[in-house]
Structure 1
Amino acid sequence: MKHGVTVALLVVAAMAGTMASARAQGGRIEERALPYTPLPADIQALDEVIKAPLTDDFVAKSFTAPDGRIVPYRLLTPATATVQLAQARLPLVIVLHGSGSIGQNNVSQMTAFAKAWALPALRQRFPAYVVAPQVDVRSADYAPGGDGLLASHPGASLPAILALVDDLLGRLPVDPARVYVVGFSMGASAALDALVAQPGRFAAAVAFSAVPPDRDRAVAVAGTPTMQVHGDQDTENPFDPDHAWAEAVAAAGGAPIFVRYQGMEHRVPPDMILAPGWREWLFAQRLKSAAPFPNP
C-alpha cells in the first residue's frame, strides 16, 4: 500500500503471533482499544479503491440453491502465475455484504470492503478465491436474545449462501481446511450465524460491526478463531451485544480477538479495509480436519 502503516495495522498484525499462545490456553479475549483517528492517507487510499474499476476483476456468476433461491455472486480468482506456483490448494474467502447492498444486480455488493481484495498488492500477498455473493433478502435477522441484548439469527438467504459455499468447494481447487468468512454489518452478523449453523465448516471469521447470535450459542463455536471489530459509538448495530458474544466465547473456552474503535460509528475502519494485518491473521488459521470434497 502507498499510505503509511497505521497503529491499527501494527496491532492487528501483532495479534497473529500473540493469538497462538492465547488459543492454546483458551478462555480469554485478546482485546485492543484503538482511537478512531483515520489518517488523511487512509481516506485518500480508500477513495481510490472506491473509484477504481476493480469490480471487473470479479467475474459475474449466478448460483441456484436447492431451495430455488438465485444468488448472484462475483468471483475473484488468483493470478495465473500464482496458481501455477502454488504447491497446495488455495483458500476460499466469502465476503458478505451489509443490508444496504440487498438486491440482485450483482454490483451493489461490490463496496470497497469487497473490491479491496482485488488490489494488486493484496491479491499477490493473499492468493485466494474470493467470493462476494449478493442476497435479495436479509441474511441475518435481529431480535432480543436470552440476555435481553440484541441477537441475530439466520435470515432467509443464509441457507443459499451456505449451499453456494458447498458448491464452490466441490468445483474450485480450494483447500477445504482454509475456508474463511468475513462480513460487515448484516454480513458480519450472517458470518457469525454461519459459524453456528455449520460448526467446523469455516476455519475462521472476521466480523465488522456485527449483531452476534444469542450468547447461549457461543459454546458451539468456541473453537473457531474469530476477530470482531466494532466502534463503541455504533448506534445502528449496538456495541454491547457484540462484546457480550466475545465474552461468551471466552467463557466457553475460546480466545476471540476483539478490536474496539473508540469514537467510531457504524463502519469498517478505513485503515482496516486496506490493511494486510488482519488478513495475515485470517490466512494463518486452518481447520485441523476438513470434510473431503471431490476434485473439480
Structure 2
Amino acid sequence: MMALASGAQAEAGRIEERTLPYAPLPADLKAVDEIIKAALSDDFVAKTYTAPDGRTVPYRLLAPATVVASQPALAKLPLVVVLHGSGSIGQDNAGQMTGFAKAWALPDLRRRFPAYVVVPQVDARSADYASGGDGLLASRPGASLSAVLALVDDLAGRLPVDPARIYVIGFSMGASAALDALVAKPGRFAAAVAFSSVPPDRAQAAGVATVPTLQVHGDQDTENPYAPDHAWAEAVAAAGGAPVFVRYQGMAHRVPPDMILAPGWREWLFAQRLTPAVPPRP
C-alpha cells in the first residue's frame, strides 16, 4: 500500500486519488493468510450489549496491549469500530472475526496503533441499498445500525477513550454502514475508512464533507458497484471536502490483501481528530 499523508487532509474541494494495479501472486496471498492465522481471536474478549431498542449486539473487544502510566498521552486512546460484511450476519460472536478484524491483534500493529478495537456482530443488515437520487445505488441505515451506534456511545462512556479519536471502518455492507454512520451520528466519528462500499445518497455528502474519509474500491467489483462509491467522493469534494480514494485496477469485491496488514492507511486514520466546535461569539 502506498504511503498516505498522515497529517492534514488533502486540498479541500478535490479528491486525493490513487490508482493501483491488483495483481497479487499466489505466494503473496498465502503469506497474508499465514500472518493472519497468527492473530488470535481470543485476544478479542467476547461481550454482549443490549441496546435501548432491545436489540442484542454480540461484540469482541481488543484492549491495547500496554498503557504506559508515565505517558499521559496514552491515558485516553482511540476507539476503532470495525463493521463486517453481510456474510458475517449472525449472533455467534465469531463470524465477524475475519482477517480484516483479526489483523488489529497482530503484535506489530497492536504496538504501533494502541487503541480499543470493537468488532460488533449484527443479526440483520446494517445497511440497505436502493436507487439514489442520481440513479446510482445508494445505502441507508439498516435495522441494526442504531444498536451498533448505541454500543459505540456506551463504550465511549465507559472506556478511557479519546472522544476526538473515534474511528469507523468496514468492508462491503460494513463499509456502507460506516459511511451511513457518519450521516446518522454527526460529530461522533473523526474519520472513516470504507472498503468496497455502497455510499449514502450523494445529496447527503455536504453534511459530512468535513469528516476525513478514505475509500478503497476495485474497479471490477460487480457486487457493490464502483461507480456510486466514486460518485460519493466527487460529491464530498464538491461540498468542500477532501476525500482520499484508492482504486484497484482489476480487483473484484474484496479487501486488498496488502492493505489488511499495511500500516500506511492506519497511520492516516490515527492522525485524524475531531476539531472542537468554536462557540459563536456573543
Question: TM-score by structure 1 length?
Answer: 0.90
Distance 2:63 2:25 in 1: 31
1:282 aligns with 2:269: yes
SS class of match (1:56): helix
Candidates 4, 28, 44, aligned match of 1:14:
4
Q: Cα offset for 1:278?
A: 0.1
- Matched with 2:18 is 32
Specify the alignment match of 1:62 in structure 2. 48
Q: Select the residue among 159, 164, 175 that pairs with 2:146.
A: 159
Query: Which of 178, 187, 195 is the equivalent residue of 1:208?
Result: 195
SS in 2 for 1:45: helix
Residue 52 of structure 1 deviates from its aligned partner by 3.4
Map Cα deviations across residues 105-161 of structure 1 (whole Å, 9 max, x no partner): 000000000000000000000000000000000000000000000000000000000
Q: CA RMSD in A?
A: 1.4
Give the SS at the match of 1:15: coil
Gaps of 5+ in 2: 278-282
Instruction: Note the C-alpha offset of 1:41.
Output: 5.4
* Structure 1 residues 127 and 53: alpha-carbon distance in aligned structure 2, compared to 1, 3 A threshold: closer
Give 5+ residue unaligned stretches, structure 1.
Answer: 1-8, 291-296
Task: Report the CA distance between 1:288 and its aligned residue.
Answer: 1.0
Distance 1:137 1:155 in 2: 8
Contact 1:180 1:203 (C-alpha < 8 Å) held by counterparts: yes
Residue in structure 1 matched with residue 172 of structure 2 by the alignment: 185
Distance 1:49 1:122 in 2: 12
Residue of structure 2 equivalent to 1:48: 34
2:60 maps to: 74
Checking the alignment, whether the CA contact within 8 Å between 1:140 and 1:186 is kept in structure 2 is yes
8 Å contact kept, 1:49–1:115? no
- Kept after mapping to 1: 8 A contact 2:9/2:242: no
Is contact 2:6-2:268 (8 Å) kept? yes
Per the alignment, residue 280 of structure 2 pairs with: none
Q: Using the aligned pairs only, state the percent identity.
A: 79
Whole-Å separation in 2 of the counterparts to 1:287 and 1:156: 27
Q: More displaced, 51-60 or 234-243? A: 51-60
Displacement after TM superposition at 1:87 (Å):
1.7
Is residue 2:72 matched to residue 1:87?
yes
**Alpha-carbon shift at residue 200 of structure 1 (Å):** 1.2
SS of 1:206 mapped into structure 2: strand
Q: CA deviation at 1:218?
A: 0.1
Q: For 2:155, what is the secondary structure of its paired residue?
A: helix
Cα deviation, residue 42, structure 1 = 3.5
**Count of residue pairs the alignment pairs up:** 275
CA displacement 1:177-213 (0-9 Å, x = unmatched):
0000000000000000000001111000000000000
What secondary structure, in the 3-state scheme, does the structure 2 residue paired with 1:84 have? coil
Any conservation in 1 of the 2:62–2:116 contact (CA below 8 Å)? yes
SS of residue matched to 2:69: helix
Find the aligned partners of 1:72 and 1:235 in 2 and give their Cα distance: 30
Which shifted more, 35-44 or 88-97? 35-44
TM-score for the superposition, normalised by structure 2:
0.94
Displacement after TM superposition at 1:84 (Å):
3.2
CA distance in structure 1 between the aligned counterparts of 2:226 and 2:37, rounded to whole angstroms = 30
- Is 1:247 the counterpart of 2:237? The answer is no
Q: Does 1:197 align with 2:184?
A: yes
